[in-house]
Amino acid sequence: MLRHLVYKIKSTGPITVAEYMKEVLTNPAKGYYIHNDMLGEKGDFITSPEISQIFGELLGIWFISEWMAAGKSSAFQLVELGPGRGTLAGDILRVFSQLGSVLKNCDISIHLVEVSQKLSEIQALALTEEKIPLERDADSTVYMKGVTKSGIPIFWYRNLQDVPKGYSFYLAHEFFDALPVHKFQKTPQGWREVFIDIDPHVSDKLRFVLAPCATPAEAFLQRDETRDHVEVCPSAGVIIQELSQRIALTGGAALIADYGHDGTKTDTFRGFCGHKLHDVLTAPGTADLTADVDFSYLRRMTQAKVVSLGPIEQQAFLRNMGIDVRLKVLLDKSDEPSMKQQLIQGYDMLMNPKKMGERFHFFALLPHQRLQGGNQQTNACQSKPSASPVAGFGELTWQ
């Protein structure tokens, strides 16, 4: 990867941080995500669904709750962006099976958007029924399809644009932080974009440089920006616009969870290797590269086509979703001390403000009519339909 980047910079000049991130993470031949399984204790980082089954279960409940609040459509697609090892989708599907009586007349299909060949294989192994062979076609926009263990059709794509535009619930957990960011530094001469160049003093070493003049990506900056260093993720903007358009047109919802901020942080671009911070310019392709998600930018990119909720801290979202009750049920059911210990440790990791509780946030996109109550089934006792609160973003009340 380093040789490839040095060659690229030597032939066409310094590259933007966004181009660097894109090459390092998703280059089809050598990209970090393409051929690696980086998740879990033995990998470079661990995510909430890998820590505790409760996380995915509560998200499964969230989707069912939104499906019910929006009038129990006869069919929906569950679309997950960047499904990792398929653990989260697996936990959600288990909830769908357990609540089969609620969903019994609903036609569900699963659509996974994944660039990684390696991870798509791991997802297929985790989620599909072995006895039904997978269909593969590398040249098609649907590069793999099969049937889940609970008999639901499942499809794989490389781009969200290729997923059919039907009524859908979208999920992105730790997906947006992997998308490429442009970086800008305020200087006495105005904003200057940060580029990556070869260090003239050390061969095969990369270094950051500032562009000598304004660059086109500067158009992404806000006129009234007060920070002196800013990261902008145009690919996230494109995806949010696509999600907003789809949700405004057909209904459904999107749930986005990631670490991030609401337009306040500055320099968050960093690398992780073996669960430790790693210099982003050293040994590219061997470590994960990530930047905090700017939720204020995502909100702007909806262009008010949909309503956005959050960001709300993970700790508050999971508590509102009933994590304490679910933990108690699982602890009561389990006889094994080691299992109990694991459940408690997992809960602490997800909820503790010093661990993931405050760093991770939930953010949702919903059609306007969902919050005006216009799309709901009318309750026989009510003269006017009123919108029910959105689970997780306020306290959940069981009816």
Question: Residue 310, interface with ligand SAH (CB under 6 A)?
Answer: no
CB of residue 315 to ligand SAH, shortest distance in Å: 17
Q: Are 134 and 43 in contact (CB under 8 A)?
A: no
Supply the minimum distance, in Å, between the C-beta of residue 314 and ligand SAH.
12
Quick check: helix, strand or coil at residue 199? coil
DSSP 160: G
Tokens of 273: 């290797």
**Site size for ligand SAH, by CB under 6 A?**
20
Of 74, 85, 139, residue with least CA distance to 109: 74
Q: Which is nearer to ligand SAH, 88 or 343 (CB)?
A: 88
Name which of 84 and 310 has its Cβ closer to ligand SAH: 84
Verify binding: residue 44, ligand SAH, rule CB under 6 A. no
Residue 376 is a binding residue for ligand SAH (CB under 6 A): no
Nearer CB in complex with ligand SAH: 83/285: 83
The answer to whether 367 touches 251, Cβ cutoff 8 Å, is: yes
Q: Whose structure tokens read 């959600």?
A: 92
Q: Which is nearer to ligand SAH, 38 or 247 (CB)?
A: 38
Cα-flanking dihedrals φ and ψ of residue 91, to 5°? -65, -40
305 binds ligand SAH (CB under 6 A): no
Report which of 171, 58, 156, 152 is spatially closest to residue 100, judged by C-alpha positions. 152
Among the listed residues 60, 83, 90, 367, the single contact to ligand SAH using CB under 6 A: 83
Beta pairing, strands 153-157 & 190-198: unpaired
Question: What x/- string results for residues 48 through 67 when contact with ligand SAH is judged by CB under 6 A?
Answer: -xx-----------------
Measure the CA–CA gap between 269 and 103, rounded to whole angstroms.
42
In whole angstroms, the minimum distance from the beta carbon of 258 to ligand SAH comes to 9
CB 87 within 8 A of CB 56: yes
Per rule CB under 6 A, is residue 84 in the interface with ligand SAH?
yes
β-pair partners for 109:
77
List binders of ligand SAH among 98-117 (CB under 6 A).
113-116
In whole angstroms, the minimum distance from the beta carbon of 233 to ligand SAH comes to 11
86 contacts 130 by C-beta, under 8 angstroms: no
Nearer to ligand SAH (CB atom), residue 170 or residue 191: 170
Considering the complex, state which of residue 87 and residue 320 has its C-beta at the smaller distance from ligand SAH: 87
Two tokens, residue 205? 């070493």
**Does position 78 bind ligand SAH by CB under 6 A?**
no
CA-atom Rg of the chain in angstroms:
22
Nearer residue to ligand SAH within complex by CB, 103 or 122? 122
Q: Which stretch binds ligand SAH (CB under 6 A): 25-33, 103-111, 131-139, 267-275?
A: 25-33
- Select the residue interacting with ligand SAH from 39, 211, 291, 351 (CB under 6 A): 39
Stretch that binds ligand SAH, among 82-90, 196-204, 210-218, 244-252 (CB under 6 A): 82-90
Does 178 interact with ligand SAH (rule: CB under 6 A)? Answer: yes
Nearer to ligand SAH, 159 or 303 (CB): 159
Residue 79 to residue 64: CA distance in whole angstroms: 14
Element (H, E) at 193: strand 190-198
Retrieve residue 227's tokens: 């920070």
- What is the DSSP code (8-state) at residue 71? T
Give, as ranges, the residues between 117 and 156 that touch ligand SAH (CB under 6 A).
Answer: 119
Cβ atoms of 268 and 297 within 8 Å: the answer is: no
Question: Which class for 267: exposed (0-12), middle (13-18), buried (19 or more C-beta within 10 A)?
Answer: middle
Chain residues binding ligand SAH by CB under 6 A are 25-26, 33, 39, 47, 49-50, 82-84, 88, 113-116, 119, 173-175, 178
